Structure 1
């Protein structure tokens, strides 16, 4: 009995010690994590740090949603039903309907959209946010920038979106994408400017300069508006990059300055007037670094000058690095091509170049780019100056400016001079246009040209 009582007392004492120690440690742990009066503890509340998002999108959405329209494109194609129709053409006509978006830019009903939205249309139908429907007529297109201009007529003025200055947009700035994805009319999504002067076509010879955003854009948004928080048009939503075909985190818009210049050219001239410096862009490699002593990684390297061009007359030299255009920073070729895309022939651009370690500001008068697209060859050509022909030892020829298809881009034909097509001499783009319009489309095309090394070659395209 005594042994039992002794064991009970020992157990009771041990339990009391354990409980007391636990309470002591629990109290110490609590007090050690208590905020102190002069501590560096920073609360996680956004309101306490002044970092709350107070941007109001409602006014911008209200200003723009009534000026973004739903565009329906009806095309008619003929599908051959037998072997004879397959080889000779013909077949039963079949209608196909596509859709996209457009932006009213004037009270009298001019609408800017994407070229791929209205391509090959036999009928264009525009539906406004109030469900009124109009038949639209095509004014003009520019496939190179994927911009098209259409028009509707009504009794009253239409709501429209004023242009903003896309050169002044900043990375991180809030924007809204307004359009009609998946036939859902009047959809507004928000995001920020993720990047500027983004080139999606760097490998196919057709450089572009897009505004990149993370505002959700899907099929049907093409041709819609990208606007800032003031409700100004800063871009035309054009493309997404996706493995699924749907939005995955970023989208791309044609800058409003470029779109505005294209549609103004279409309205005034009927086609797009492109101004060029007259330079050949070179790559900065080890040989160039050693030859010119370059230690700068940003800018556009001038690899050559076209004789008689604006750059040649102004004094830009091979080996210069273009750093700015009219004070706007140029980090890469897309910056240069994007800025020049908003300019016209005879415009004067102040070019800041880095030469032998010092910067020089050189005013350059842009010249008109006279080009013709040889669709059957997938090449664009321009007239060749007499100075360049003399330098190359040629009497005639047109110069290839870029490839129009990825298949032709792989041959790196930019800069070659085509002297003959189907054994007929060509001296300018008008000759090319005439020869191509008169040829039998079923016969091969023979192209004779001089390459960069001065060799005369011939290709036959079947």
Structure 2
């Protein structure tokens, strides 16, 4: 009987090894089946960007650069390499990675787990979300991971992080989902909404896969919180639902991610604020400002209302709200639950792009100006969104300071409030007010919450 039992074990072992574990007891045995299923779809990414550098720092100064025009001080190309990971999402070669891995790269090489190599091109990227969608062309169908509904992920689930840490090759680490709805916690460039995990994530893991025990993608590893540079057990992944929205826009031909515009300002309603305002409970996002053409205003919301849900999901921060809107996508409508006083209501909010109305009318100052190369635009909702300006701001904003204005202290995002006491209403006004013949210039700008007065002599 003992020999018969041993024979049955050997005969059934291969079948068991090919199955995804279905219980905690099976999971304690091995992660091998999950890794075999998921790892072939996780790739290593090598990106290269050529940057120009000058032979001496003084060449960067507009005044001194004319003294350094000799053959030995010409600009020299510098190669900057980036190492990371990516995940194949379709058999025709759609790959997702982090923007900080491949953004602005001139050459991207994708290496599969079976050591095949392909050149890749960026279809769509977004620095703020820290996501990029790539395309590789392979003669045969590629292995890929299915996306899981991010809202079905729960704290305590087992999770595997697969990537290429420190360039040592594909590596798998295990842990659990240790938190959800982490917003503004990224250290890798993303400013959004994350899944938190204690599965070790290290440099090179960026863009890699966070998968569940069924081998489905639940998130794209993007950053860690660390003091030493290594993993301390607090890592963040961009949820698969947002990845799906990026893929959909990339397949539609978009080259930049279209994010719905809210046109509101607000802050989390915590316990202290709720007590101060007389609310009987905390939670949600209290509206402190509404733009005149905000889709939330058009749907009937007012300053003082508390947004509780978007698309049936709770929101407590601006980042959570924007995430929910981005997942729903441009052109859709989102059901927004909110409270006004003690009454709870719902509204249908149209998800629109930030309007380009009025036209931004960009102007770049010429060589006859006091600040050649300075670029300014008229502020509209699209400019407010791009430069992250307060909703109430109007007038003219700087989009590129150029070499001379940069030396004087101007930055992209500065709002020009006045030049020699005159308020510019249009970019053309700035061009006239900064005439190169003027001997003295006093400029008042707003930078964030500060007003700054700058004085220059011609």
1:318 Cα deviation after fit: 1.9
| Alignment RMSD | 3.7
Aligned to 2:195: 211
Residues 102 and 112, structure 1, Cα contact 8 Å, conserved in 2: yes
Aligned to 1:73: 47
Q: In 2, distance between residues paired with 1:402 and 1:271?
A: 13
Which of 278, 301, 304 in structure 2 is aligned with 1:293? Answer: 278
Instruction: Work out whether 1:383 is the aligned partner of 2:380.
Output: yes
Aligned to 1:419: 395
Which of 320, 325, 338 in structure 2 is aligned with 1:353? Answer: 338
Aligned to 2:354: 369
Instruction: Work out whether 1:199 is the aligned partner of 2:183.
Output: yes
Q: In 2, distance between residues paired with 1:170 and 1:225?
A: 17
Tell me which moved more, 53-62 or 304-313: 53-62
3-state DSSP class of the match of 2:38?
helix
- Which segments of 5 or more consecutive residues in structure 1 lack a partner in the other structure? 1-50, 385-397, 405-412, 422-431
**Change in 2 beyond 3 A, CA 1:382/1:249:** farther
**Change in 2 beyond 3 A, CA 1:354/1:163:** same
**Change in 2 beyond 3 A, CA 1:120/1:151:** same
Residues 354 and 385, structure 2, Cα contact 8 Å, conserved in 1: no
**Change in 2 beyond 3 A, CA 1:262/1:189:** same
Aligned to 1:158: 142
Tell me which moved more, 73-82 or 61-70: 73-82
Instruction: Work out whether 1:320 is the aligned partner of 2:317.
Output: no
**Change in 2 beyond 3 A, CA 1:264/1:285:** closer
3-state DSSP class of the match of 1:259?
helix
Q: In 2, distance between residues paired with 1:380 and 1:294?
A: 42
Residues 165 and 256, structure 1, Cα contact 8 Å, conserved in 2: yes
Aligned residues: 372
Q: Deviations over 1:83-103 (max 9, x none)?
A: 665554843323333211011
Aligned to 1:309: 294
**Change in 2 beyond 3 A, CA 1:370/1:60:** farther
1:273 Cα deviation after fit: 1.3
Q: In 2, distance between residues paired with 1:202 and 1:310?
A: 28
Aligned to 2:405: 443
1:78-89 superposed matches below 5 A: 78-82=52-56, 85=59, 87=61, 88=65
TM-score by length of structure 1 reads 0.71
Residues 380 and 403, structure 1, Cα contact 8 Å, conserved in 2: no
Residues 399 and 418, structure 1, Cα contact 8 Å, conserved in 2: no
Aligned to 1:19: none
Residues 335 and 347, structure 2, Cα contact 8 Å, conserved in 1: yes
Q: Deviations over 1:42-75 (max 9, x none)?
A: xxxxxxxxx9654363332222100111101122
1:113 Cα deviation after fit: 0.5
Which of 171, 180, 184 in structure 1 is aligned with 2:168? Answer: 184
Tell me which moved more, 166-175 or 82-91: 82-91
Instruction: Work out whether 1:227 is the aligned partner of 2:211.
Output: yes
**Change in 2 beyond 3 A, CA 1:304/1:135:** same
Residues 274 and 281, structure 2, Cα contact 8 Å, conserved in 1: no
Aligned to 2:112: 128
Instruction: Work out whether 1:458 is the aligned partner of 2:444.
Output: yes
**Change in 2 beyond 3 A, CA 1:231/1:354:** same
- Which segments of 5 or more consecutive residues in structure 2 lack a partner in the other structure? 1-22, 66-72, 364-372, 425-442, 446-452
Residues 381 and 401, structure 1, Cα contact 8 Å, conserved in 2: no
**Change in 2 beyond 3 A, CA 1:308/1:109:** same
Aligned to 2:130: 146
Residues 34 and 214, structure 2, Cα contact 8 Å, conserved in 1: yes
Instruction: Work out whether 1:110 is the aligned partner of 2:94.
Output: yes
Q: In 2, distance between residues paired with 1:416 and 1:399?
A: 12
Aligned to 2:37: 63
Q: Deviations over 1:333-361 (max 9, x none)?
A: 34323222212223111111122223222
**Change in 2 beyond 3 A, CA 1:109/1:458:** same
Residues 309 and 367, structure 1, Cα contact 8 Å, conserved in 2: no
Q: Deviations over 1:129-160 (max 9, x none)?
A: 01111122222211111111222112111111
TM-score by length of structure 2 reads 0.71
1:105 Cα deviation after fit: 0.9
